[in-house]
Structure 1
Amino acid sequence: MSEGAAAKQDHIVTAALGVFCRHGYRRTSMDLIARAARMSRPAVYQYFGGKEEIFRAAGEKLVADIVTGARAVWGSGDSVADRLYGMLAIKLDLVAGSVEARLRAELLAEAREVAGDVVLALEEGCTAVVEAALEAASDELDLVGHAIPAHDAAAVLVASLAGIAQQEAPPEVLHTRLRQLVDLTVRGLTSRTPAPAMP
């Protein structure tokens, strides 16, 4: 694919992302996507076979952007709690900052139905990045003394974030809840009292 064609596809995906966030998957039409991209419908079809293909491409772009952004945040010199919060806030900002509160749960359900593998890749990518961050902070956290491995702690954080992001609350409230979740997690992982073994 030529550079020009790749740039056009990226332009369409970026424009479509805003439309999906405002209207949801089902209420988004190729006409709305074409208008947002300032192109004709036939021109959009030159680059994508339809709405589902654009939706999947938008999801794949988000996965890459979120994982890359989370890795960059981890490299900052802040505390473990600040870095974990920053990593997870990237995903929260995507949802809370661009999707209307009333559409959040609906759009996630549609995404799971239309592009479940992309949603799974996002969850796995986020979990892997958070897991690596927890393992890298093992000198500050007491993962060895706890019955919960870094992967499981990361999976709990990412799953909890999904629940927070779907709530119909203003972004600042969601950010407060995320900060509280991270602080509780880090506090729990830095206590030197071993946690009870899981059944």
Structure 2
Amino acid sequence: MSDPRSRILDAAAAVFGRYGYRRSTMDLLAKAAGMSRPAVYQYFAGKEAVFHALGERLVGEVIAAAERARDARDLSLAERLYGVLTAKLDAVTGGFGPEARAEILGEAVEVTPALVVSFKERHTAILAEVLDGEPGLDLAAFPARNVAILLSGALTGIAQEAGEPGELRALLREHVDLIIRGLARPTT
């Protein structure tokens, strides 16, 4: 059995995913965690604290998965980029429809802005690290960080599309392939 704090965060993911941040209450969070409301308050000062802690946990998981993909040197560049990007896509699409995704992401920006900015910077840096120094890419006109920003922006758009996670992953795969082909050094 997980510790109470983890149990609350697990329950919060489902509650926030179903009701969004604004309509979620500490009563709903407590009920989903199988605890009393006063018991939840022993671990979190309120709904915002739960939302922030859940965000921190999710960011940590996504960054760890992205770093594993970045460091998988036995994979092709396309596979590593795709792995870094799908770590984020899978977290964003995890059981939410496009409307719920947009609402949760909007609420995250509003409720935990520093966490969102930090995550975006860290994820972009990982993408840039995958690209930087990769032989065969022409990054003179398009610096790795700029390409990483473009990849990340496209991922945001893909995540907001209607469709099943598998369909969104296929769109992301096509985008990665397109970017790599566009950056490939011409052969003479």
Is this contact kept in 2: 1:63–1:125, CA < 8 A?
A: no
Instruction: Give the Å deviation of 1:22.
Output: 2.0
TM-score, scaled to structure 2? 0.91
Aligned partner of 2:117 among 114, 117, 120: 120
Instruction: Give the Å deviation of 1:168.
Output: 2.0
Instruction: Give the Å deviation of 1:28.
Output: 1.2
Instruction: Give the Å deviation of 1:46.
Output: 0.6
96-105 or 117-126: bigger deviation? 96-105
Q: Percent identity?
A: 46
SS in structure 1 opposite 2:163? Answer: coil
Aligned partner of 1:105 among 79, 102, 105: 102
Instruction: Give the Å deviation of 1:140.
Output: 3.7
- Per-residue CA deviation, residues 109-145 of structure 1 (Å, 9 max, x unaligned), is 1111111111112211110111111115x224222xx
Q: Which amino acid aligns with 2:68?
A: A
Instruction: Give the Å deviation of 1:18.
Output: 2.0
Q: Which runs of 5+ in 2 are unaligned?
A: none
Q: How many residues align?
A: 185
C-alpha spacing 1:11/1:140, structure 2 compared with 1 (3 Å): farther
Q: Which amino acid aligns with 1:175?
A: R
> Does 1:188 pair with 2:182?
yes
Instruction: Give the Å deviation of 1:155.
Output: 1.0
RMSD: 1.7
Give the Cα–Cα distance (whole angstroms) in 2 for the partners of residues 120 and 98 of structure 1: 24
Instruction: Give the Å deviation of 1:14.
Output: 2.3
Q: Which amino acid aligns with 2:62?
A: I
Q: How does 1:1-199 map to 2 (within 5 A)?
A: 7-76=3-72, 77-136=74-133, 138-143=134-139, 146-192=140-186
Give the Cα–Cα distance (whole angstroms) in 2 for the partners of residues 163 and 27 of structure 1: 25
SS in structure 1 opposite 2:75? Answer: coil
Q: Which amino acid aligns with 1:106?
A: E
Is this contact kept in 1: 2:70–2:129, CA < 8 A?
A: no
Give the Cα–Cα distance (whole angstroms) in 1 for the partners of residues 118 and 161 of structure 2: 22
Give the Cα–Cα distance (whole angstroms) in 2 for the partners of residues 92 and 47 of structure 1: 29
Give the Cα–Cα distance (whole angstroms) in 2 for the partners of residues 7 and 156 of structure 1: 40
Q: Which runs of 5+ in 1 are unaligned?
A: 1-5, 194-199
Is this contact kept in 2: 1:21–1:100, CA < 8 A?
A: no
Give the Cα–Cα distance (whole angstroms) in 1 for the partners of residues 138 and 6 of structure 2: 43
Structure 1 runs (4+) greater than 3 angstroms displaced: none
Give the Cα–Cα distance (whole angstroms) in 1 for the partners of residues 141 and 137 of structure 2: 13
80-89 or 100-109: bigger deviation? 100-109
